[in-house]
Amino acid sequence: IDRVQLTDGGSSLTIINVTRSDQGPFRCRVSNPVSTVTSDPVHLSISLPKSFFCVFGKQEKTNFLNFRKLVFSCFPKTQKNDLGTYAMNSVVTESDRVHLTDGGSSLVINATRFDQGSFRCRVANPVSNGTSEPVNLTISYGPENTNVFASPSQQYYTTGSDINLTCSVESRPPAQFQWFVNGDQLPDTGSELRLMNVQMSHSGNYSCETFNSITLISQKSQHSVVSVMGNRGLPSRRCL
């Protein structure tokens, strides 16, 4: 066979470009006119490159809530694999809420919003290595820190002024909005409420409520007081 060469008078065996068919026990036999000796077997194992993939255990979804326990599994799993798991282009290291188990083939995370990103696992042995396709992890949270800001910001507004009220919030996915004045719901549902050419009737306590359709959490802001001055230049507010 072209791939197999005997050198040094037959005492050395060289196999070029080994294949899986070369795997097995090898022995050498030495003889002279008066005796013959056979060595103990040397077992040759051939490791082949494989495809690897990273999954959330048996879960198919990749959208999770903040502070949930998540388990990644990397396959195939063999005793001689050297496993490293990667997140957002950085090697994952163990901490109080991040643990590697099963010889490194499983990654357990008590997830927070900051763990969102792409996860891959890399497996290697002395002759091959493989990296999984990325698993894109999304962490849902909020709404938090819901606040209303007025622009321009001032204590009193004159009739005919234009006022923009903005509702800010921290949420993933983006929150839904609902506006209220003096506790009564308004038809406006965006993050901004525009009061154009305001009159005395626009005076009141404005607030917004935010809602996250994944976490099913809602949060209401503190009141933002809008006071519109009447024709006589005196502050006027809607009775509450």
- Better-scored residue on pLDDT, 3 or 81: 3
Same structural domain, 95 and 114: yes
Same structural domain, 112 and 162: no
Q: Is the pLDDT of residue 218 over 70?
A: yes
Q: Pick the last residue of a domain from 90, 114, 133.
A: 133
Q: How do residues 4-54 score in pLDDT, each as one tens digit?
A: 888 888 888 888 887 778 888 888 988 888 899 999 888 887 765 555 555
Question: What's the confidence (pLDDT) of residue 195?
Answer: 96
Distance CA 181, CA 159 (A): 18
Instruction: Determine the structural domain holding residue 184 and report its residue range.
Output: 141-236
Question: What's the confidence (pLDDT) of residue 95?
Answer: 81
CB 41 within 8 A of CB 25: yes
Same structural domain, 152 and 184: yes
CA distances from 9 to 12, 37, 60, 204 (A): 8, 17, 60, 103
Query: Considering its fold, how many domains does the chain have in total?
Result: 3
Same structural domain, 21 and 97: no
Same structural domain, 154 and 228: yes
Mean pLDDT value across the chain:
80
Same structural domain, 128 and 149: no
pTM listed for this prediction: 0.63
Same structural domain, 232 and 146: yes
Pairing of strands 135-151, 63-65: parallel
pLDDT band at 85 (very low <50, low <70, confident <90, very high): very low
CATH code for the domain of 199: 2.60.40.10
